[in-house]
Amino acid sequence: MSKHRVSRRQFLNYTLTGVGGFMAAGMLMPMLRFAVDPVLEAAGGENYVATKQKVDDLTGKPVRLDFSYKQKDAWYESEVTDTAWVYKNDEGKIVALSPVCKHLGCTVDWNTSKDHPNQFFCPCHFGRYTKDGMNVKGTPPLKPLDSYDYKVKDGILYLGSAVPHKEA
Amino acid sequence: MKLVPKDMEMFEQAREHIDTIIVPLIGVDFGSDTKSYARMNEFLTILSSEIERQFKGRIILIPPFTYIASSEEEAKKQAALDWKSNFLNEGFKHVFFITCDSNWKAVENDFEQTLIWVPAIPLEGLDDTYKRQMMDEQVRQISTIFSQRWQREK
Ligand code: FES
């Protein structure tokens, strides 16, 4: 007979740890999922909307892109149209700016002020932004324009949500 | 801005910046012109909400001044002008009326260049891109009128 007989106490110990382990895992797994899932979703589930813009056609001159998507409210499902000003900057990187003025929300236009060419101009209270979206000091807006997350697929530009400018 | 609480909160905080009211004039008819008035309604509703989007921070788009299309011109005009003087008394500097109904053209002069008439383009069957381009063009033209007014007062 072997000396390594499993004593009653050991046996119970092993089995209980085993079962307890399973139980703990069973409890922890869903908790973990809850904790991790939102992160996964934010990364993977973000809605990007296809624009009609071919990335290769973009130049240094901002173009106005309208893109629509469906938005559900309590009552209506409505088609929302958003606009972006898109161009390639000097490093060839795509820049997609939201046209919503940071003062009170009018839509800014590119290069429409004769006195201040090559800036974004807000017709409402004459707010101005430089090409990279930074607000010009002394005009009403106090923050830079938001910019859109974007992604390129099959040469087409997809826009995500507008995010506040990260202060440099 | 629209006449919704969220926008009005902003309005109360920045009142001095919001000095313009837009009043759409929309007729209703169930006689022989039902469809063309419906078309004007559709067109003007889209147009005015686009204008609102463009100039959110300076104008308030209020619910339309709605009337029976066949009702008497003079009475309609008087009522609309009453709205105008009321808003001016509230401290607004500009009140613009916008309409597709050509009947208003007869009394245009009484509005002292604050009545904007745009022809309603039939939208039925137009493809989306084209519709959008067309609306943009209209909005741009109307923007010029606003901008000129606003510049003038500077
Ligand atoms: S909303 Fe743009 S300057 Fe006021």
Contacts of A122 in chain B (CB under 8 A): 57
SS (H, E, C) B48-106: HHHHHHHCCCCEEECCCEEEECCCCHHHHHHHHHHHHHHHHHCCCCEEEEEECCHHHHH
> Is pLDDT above 60 for A36?
no
Please name the member of A81, A105, A140 whose beta carbon is closest to the beta carbon of B56.
A105
Residues in chain B: 154
Contacts of B9 in chain A (CB under 8 A): none
Q: What is the pTM of this model?
A: 0.80
Say if the Cβ atoms of B54 and A104 lie within 8 Å.
no
Long-range contacts of B130-139 (CB under 8 A, 24+ apart): B132/A66, B132/A81, B135/B46, B135/B47, B135/B50, B136/B50, B138/B47, B138/B50, B139/B47, B139/B50, B139/B51, B139/B54
The Cα–Cα gap between A35 and A41 comes to 11
The CATH architecture that domain A49-163 belongs to is 3-layer Sandwich (2.102)
Q: Which of residues 43-62 of B touch A (CB under 8 A)?
A: 53-58
ipTM of model over 0.85: yes
The Cα–Cα gap between B123 and B100 comes to 14
Residue B128: pLDDT band (50, 70, 90) is confident
Chain A residue with minimum CA distance to B10: A104
> Which CATH code fits B19-146?
3.40.50
Mean pLDDT of B90-112: 95
Chain A residue with minimum CA distance to B140: A109
Let me know the angle formed at the C-alpha of B81 by B27 and A105, rounded to the nearest 5 degrees: 80
B43 close to B3: Cβ distance less than 8 angstroms: no
Residue A45: pLDDT band (50, 70, 90) is very low
Q: Which uninterrupted H or E stretch holds B27?
A: strand B20-28
Please name the member of A66, A81, A106 whose beta carbon is closest to the beta carbon of B58.
A106
Q: How much of chain A is in helix, strand and coil states, percent to nearest 5?
A: 25, 35, 45
| Atom 1 (ligand 1) nearest CA | A104
Contacts of B55 in chain A (CB under 8 A): 106-107, 123-124
Is the minimum CB–CB distance between A28 and chain B shorter than 8 Å? no
Residue A43: pLDDT band (50, 70, 90) is very low
Residue A3: pLDDT band (50, 70, 90) is low
* Average pLDDT along chain B: 94
Residue B115: pLDDT band (50, 70, 90) is very high
Mean pLDDT of A30-43: 52
Residue B72, min C-alpha distance to chain A (Å): 36
> Is pLDDT above 70 for A162?
yes
Index of the ligand 1 atom closest to the CA of residue A106: 1
Mean pLDDT of A96-117: 95
Give the residue extent of every domain in chain A.
1-41, 49-163
> Is pLDDT above 80 for B116?
yes
Selected for mutation to probe chain A from B2, B8, B52, B54 (highest A CB count within 10 Å) is B54
Strands B59-61 and B115-117, how do they pair? unpaired
A129 close to A143: Cβ distance less than 8 angstroms: no
Mean pLDDT of B127-137: 87
Give the residue extent of every domain in chain B.
19-146
Please name the member of A66, A81, A124 whose beta carbon is closest to the beta carbon of B58.
A124
The pLDDT tens digits for B19-63 are 999 999 999 999 999 999 999 999 999 999 999 999 999 999 999
Let me know the angle formed at the C-alpha of B101 by B98 and B105, rounded to the nearest 5 degrees: 80
Residue A71: pLDDT band (50, 70, 90) is confident
